[in-house]
Each structure stands twice: as C-alpha cells, then as structure tokens.
C-alpha cells in the first residue's frame, strides 16, 4: 500500500459540453511553476487525506466550506504519493480571496485551456474528464 504524502481537491462543473476546473497558480513559481494546477498539500500528522484536500482547496482556491456541494475520493496516484478528490460547489461564483500562497485562483475551461494545465498533473485532469464523461454517458 502506498504511503500518501499529499492530497488535493479538484472542483469542477460541466457547461455546454465543456468541463471547468477550479485551479490555482502559486505565488512562488518554485512551488509548482506558473501554470494552473490542482490545489494540494502535504498531509500533516493526524490529518486525513480528505481533510487535507479540503483545507488546501480552502487556502489555495478560496473555497467557502458551505459552498462545497459534493466530494468523493477519486483516485490515488502511487507514483506521486497523492490522493485526489473531486467535488462540486453550489455556486461557481461564491469563493473568497485565496491565501497568499496563491497568485491566482479561478475556473479553467478544459476544452479551451486544458493545454495550459500543469504538465505533470495533466494526466490527472484527463482521468477526471474521462470519468465525468463516462458518468454523463459520453
């Protein structure tokens, strides 16, 4: 079994046959570059992966806890030692200002800007897109 080190939460919504992901760009490029990416972080001693994923999304994307409509464990990526959760929100416009660690936070259209997502995470977004399309019968 893989010892997890990190967890992240990918919020999404579907509109007009496109999937939008809530992403962030770090203030300091040394912590992930300058491309939109998954809000994620290190799992602290005693914290669960799910707790960490939500906490990081609150800090890095400005998620308001009461706005979280659904969350589910999506997949563990053993080579990255990371658990990924996916979720939806009640209101796609209801977010607070993110923590100082984030230079930017916002929605990214997969159809239009999927190629701009962080390279080493792109396969995660592709997995999520395939999952959502399967759920929607596409």
Name the burial class of residue 37, with classes exposed (0-12), middle (13-18) and buried (19+) by CB atoms within 10 angstroms of its CB.
buried
pLDDT in tens, the chain (138 residues): 679 999 999 999 999 999 999 999 999 888 778 999 999 999 999 999 999 999 999 999 999 999 999 999 999 999 999 999 999 999 999 999 999 989 999 999 999 999 999 999 999 999 999 999 998 776
**pLDDT at site 79:** 95
Domains of the chain: 6-135 (3.90.79.10)
With contact defined as beta carbons under 8 Å apart, do 102 and 61 qualify? yes
| The pLDDT value given to residue 25 | 96
């Amino acid at each position: 079994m893989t010892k997890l080190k990190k967890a992240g939460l990918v919020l999404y919504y579907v509109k007009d046959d496109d999937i939008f992901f809530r992403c962030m760009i770090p203030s300091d490029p040394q912590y992930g570059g300058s491309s939109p990416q998954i809000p994620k972080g290190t799992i602290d001693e005693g914290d669960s992966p799910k707790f960490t994923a939500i906490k990081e999304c609150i800090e890095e994307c400005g998620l308001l806890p009461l706005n979280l409509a659904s969350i589910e464990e999506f997949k563990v990526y053993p080579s990255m030692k990371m658990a990924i959760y996916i979720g939806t929100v009640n209101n796609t416009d209801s977010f607070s200002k993110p923590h100082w660690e984030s230079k930017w936070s916002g929605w990214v259209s997969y159809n239009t800007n999927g190629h701009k997502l962080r390279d080493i995470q792109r396969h995660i977004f592709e997995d999520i897109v395939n999952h959502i399309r399967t759920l929607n019968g596409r």
